[in-house]
Amino acid sequence: MNSVWNWVLIVAGALLVLVEVALGGFAGFDLVLIGSAFVIGGVAGLVLQNPAIGFVVASGLCLLYIGAGRRLVRKRMQTRSLPSNTDALIGQKGIVTQRLARHTPGQVRVRDESWRAALAAEVEGPLETGAEVTVTAVDGVTLQVR
């Protein structure tokens, strides 16, 4: 009868892991680690033939994860938005190398690269060669500048 509680821990842990996997990680990996702690506690209780030890091991691992490991796991799983390619150009300063007017695109130099550029909607007049501009948006391969 003593080993029944160890099996309860193992089955409950396995169910927690399965729920997390089946629902696509909705709990942010928490159920997998807590379920794993239950399984480890159940196995420890079976090996030592003492369900109390199984519960103590499972509880200790759960508290350890919630107290310390959760922050580390969440930090590693968090995706970082890192602008790349043209998105990284937004907000950058550049120099006009070919005149820009309302319906006449020109060229600007941003980060040592030449880009096709057009005036942003809020800009009224033309921008002459040598003017400093700021990239406000990217439309295909054309930078919108002001």
Rg (CA), the chain: 30
Do both 91 and 119 map to the same domain?
A: yes
Residue 44 to residue 29: CA distance in whole angstroms = 23
* Structure-token pair, residue 94: 């550049």
Element (H, E) at 33: helix 30-48
Q: How many domains does the chain have?
A: 2
Same domain, 18 and 43: yes
Q: Among 31, 48, 77, which residue terminates a domain?
A: 77
In b/e form, how buried is each residue of 56-81, taking b as 16+ CB within 10 angstroms?
ebbeebbeebeeeebeebeeeeeeee
Q: Could you report the per-residue pLDDT of 87-137, keeping only the tens digit for each?
A: 788 999 999 999 999 889 999 999 889 999 999 989 888 999 999 999 999
pLDDT band of residue 57 (cuts 50, 70, 90) is very high
